[in-house]
Structure formats: C-alpha cells, structure tokens
Amino acid sequence: MEDRRLNFTVLIEQDEDGIYVAKVPDISGCYTQGKTVSEAMERIKEAIQVCIEADSKETTPMKFIGVQQLEVKV
C-alpha cells in the first residue's frame, strides 16, 4: 500500500502556565502540548498518526483559509 501525504492545519495556543497546546481542527479530539512550539509540533505529528489509525473513517483535511481573532463583550 502506498503512503499518502496529508497536510493539516495545526492551531497553537499558549495556556496560562506557558505550555503550548497544539490542536488539529480537522480531527476531533486530536491535540497535544509541549514546553516549546517545536516540542508541540513534534508531538502533534504523532497524535495525528494515532488519531488517523484509530479512526475507521477516512480523514480528509479541509482547505485552510485563515485565522482571525474576535473580541466579544460579555
């Protein structure tokens, strides 16, 4: 079987303790963390592979358009 190469958008945020949290919006529940951005990115590669192997349906990344922040008064 031939290996497929997929490109996923990874969102990286920093929590209140300074830990970087990496999330893949295209894969439900696929996230990890690291002390540095590099560490979080290495870990999210592993997490993506595990999530894809564990999911019985085929995963297809969506086309990335952009990221915006929105301030909301509450």
Confidence of residue 64 (pLDDT cuts 50, 70, 90): confident
User: 10-29 pLDDT, tens per residue?
Assistant: 999 999 999 999 999 999 99
State the residue for tokens 């564990």.
Answer: 54
The pTM for the full model equals: 0.79
| Nearest CA among 4, 40, 38 for reference residue 24 | 40
Domain ranges (residues) in the chain: 1-74
Residue type, 13: E
In angstroms, the CA 34 to CA 18 distance is 9
Question: Considering only the top CATH level, what class is 1-74?
Answer: alpha beta
